[in-house]
């Protein structure tokens, strides 16, 4: 899997999850449970990971949704 997005913003993560789910793109949110370690401060970023064969489609989806600045190495 390839990192699509890295952010501390739970709203952005939720929006991206909804977009990917609706597009039937398989994804995984890494570091989601790190809030236990950090004390729920939101300091550690979460990473949205997408299969390598779907990464370009996922990037296009985020661009079309107006959040291209969230794409890692856009």
Check residue 31 and give its pLDDT. Answer: 83
The enclosing domain of 19 has a CATH number of 3.30.70.790
**pLDDT at 45 (0 to 100):** 87
Structural domain range at position 16 = 2-70
β-pairing, 27-30 vs 46-50, is antiparallel
Number of domains, the chain: 1
pLDDT tens track, the chain, 74 positions: 999 999 988 899 999 999 999 999 999 999 877 655 555 555 688 999 999 999 999 999 999 999 999 998 75
**In what order do the strands lie in the sheet containing 2-7?**
2-7, 46-50, 27-30
């Amino acid at each position: 899997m390839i990192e699509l997005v890295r952010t501390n913003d739970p709203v952005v993560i939720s929006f991206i999850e909804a977009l990917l789910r609706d597009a039937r793109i398989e994804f995984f949110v890494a570091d989601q449970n790190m809030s236990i370690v950090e004390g729920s401060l939101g300091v550690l970023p979460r990473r949205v990971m997408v299969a390598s064969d779907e990464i370009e489609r996922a990037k296009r989806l985020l661009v079309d949704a107006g959040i291209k600045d969230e794409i890692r190495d856009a």
